[in-house]
Amino acid sequence: MCGQIMTKYLFFDIDGTIVPFGKEAPESAVQALGRAHERGHKLFLATGRSPAEVDPRLDGIYFDGGVYCGGALAYVGSQEVFSSCFSEDEIKELIEIGSNRGWQMLFQTRSRSLIKRSFIDILTELCRKSFGGVLTIGNLVEVESYPVRSDVTKICFWTPDSDVVSIRRELADRYDVVDNAMGIPLDSTAEIIVKGQSKAIGMRAVLDYYNAPLSSSISFGDGPNDVELVEEAGFGVAMGNACQAVRDVADYIADDILNDGLSKAMEKLEVC
């Protein structure tokens, strides 16, 4: 794909792309990312996690910045180049809806995630049953009640009625409800984001910062919140373990994450 070495802007989902659920990042992926950096390419995370929630298993891997909170925040280095948060009125509405329907919720902000102990227990059990491990989330702060604040980027919720599909329909005119990317059941747990928000918007903000064309971007993803990222990048890669929606829009389908899929794809694209 790349005869002459030109700077590429690489965007990587974390969970299911760099790091398998409940496992360590494959050494092949760590080495491939290091080689890409050494060759002068720009590396960015593109994750549903906030900057404060980045998995410690990525410590030691160099990134030039990141797209966080499903696209609500974008950074180049420590400089914020894009942000999109709920208004306080929207937070009040969602708290009321959640309270009436018995939801458990996690409020994501730039610096921390706010959660009740009861939801921590539910998430722990869901992860244990789904992939036999624990989802590592940094900077969780336990709260007694859900706060009304203007820096909430995303709300993860669990519904006791397993009615995510109907909730998505009911809220469609005001918010986007996307499948969770945590590897747990999609009918009971989902994420509410600002209407029209996506990782692709954050990616474009990063490219605009560098005055780089969309054609210079390569994205790698596996989950429902990676669809726009993979579809809109100059070249989109779906991991072999990706959901069908990501596979459908990808330019290339890599091997499974547990079979060195990320490193093989990066080698094929001649970026490492």
DSSP string of 169-180?
Answer: HHHTTTEEEEE-
Across the chain, which distance is largest between two alpha carbons, in Å?
59
Instruction: Say if residues 68 and 47 touch (Cβ distance below 8 Å).
Output: yes
- Model pLDDT, residue 76: 98
CATH code of residue 107: 3.30.1240.10
- Nearest one of 68, 100, 106 to 198, comparing CA atoms: 68
- Model pLDDT, residue 21: 79
Is the predicted pLDDT of residue 138 greater than 80, yes or no? no
* Domain match, 103 and 42 both: no
Q: Note down the domain range covering 227.
A: 9-84+198-268
The answer to whether position 2 is within a domain reads no
Could you tell me the pTM of the whole model?
0.85
- Contacts of residue 263, defined as CB under 8 A and 6 or more positions apart, other chains included, come to 26, 28, 29, 31, 32, 272
**Domain boundary residue among 194, 219, 243?**
194
* Domain match, 58 and 25 both: yes
* Domain match, 77 and 92 both: no
The answer to whether position 64 is within a domain reads yes
Q: What are phi and psi of 268, to 5 degrees?
A: -60, -35
Q: For 223-245, how does the pLDDT look when each residue is reduced to its tens digit (9 = 90+)?
A: 989 999 999 999 999 999 999 99
- DSSP strand pairing (235-238 vs 252-253): parallel
* Domain match, 190 and 232 both: no
Compute the CA torsion angle 152, 194, 221, 267 (nearest 10 deg). -80
**Domain boundary residue among 153, 168, 194?**
194
* Domain match, 212 and 258 both: yes
pLDDT band at 55 (very low <50, low <70, confident <90, very high): confident
Is the predicted pLDDT of residue 5 greater than 90, yes or no? no
* Domain match, 171 and 98 both: yes
The answer to whether position 1 is within a domain reads no
Q: What are phi and psi of 128, to 5 degrees?
A: -60, -45
Using the 8-state DSSP alphabet, how is residue 191 labeled? Answer: E
In single-letter form, the type of residue at position 256 comes to: D
**Domain boundary residue among 128, 160, 194?**
194
The answer to whether position 169 is within a domain reads yes
Q: How far, in Å, CA of 216 to CA of 41, rounded?
A: 10
The answer to whether position 127 is within a domain reads yes
* Domain match, 98 and 159 both: yes
Is the predicted pLDDT of residue 220 greater than 60, yes or no? yes
Helix (H), strand (E) counts: the chain: 8, 14
Q: How far, in Å, CA of 180 to CA of 190, rounded?
A: 5
- Nearest one of 204, 209, 257 to 228, comparing CA atoms: 204
CATH code of residue 210: 3.40.50.1000
Is the predicted pLDDT of residue 4 greater than 60, yes or no? no
The answer to whether position 264 is within a domain reads yes
- Model pLDDT, residue 136: 67
* Domain match, 185 and 202 both: no
Mean pLDDT throughout 32-40? 96
* Domain match, 35 and 126 both: no
Q: How far, in Å, CA of 254 to CA of 160, rounded?
A: 36
* Domain match, 94 and 152 both: yes
The answer to whether position 239 is within a domain reads yes
Residues in the chain: 272
pLDDT band at 2 (very low <50, low <70, confident <90, very high): very low
* Domain match, 168 and 256 both: no
Tokens 């290339």, located at residue: 252
* Domain match, 78 and 117 both: no
Q: How far, in Å, CA of 158 to CA of 40, rounded?
A: 42
The total of structural domains in the chain comes to 2
Q: How far, in Å, CA of 272 to CA of 264, rounded?
A: 10
The answer to whether position 3 is within a domain reads no
- Give the bridge partners for 114, in sequence order: 107, 141
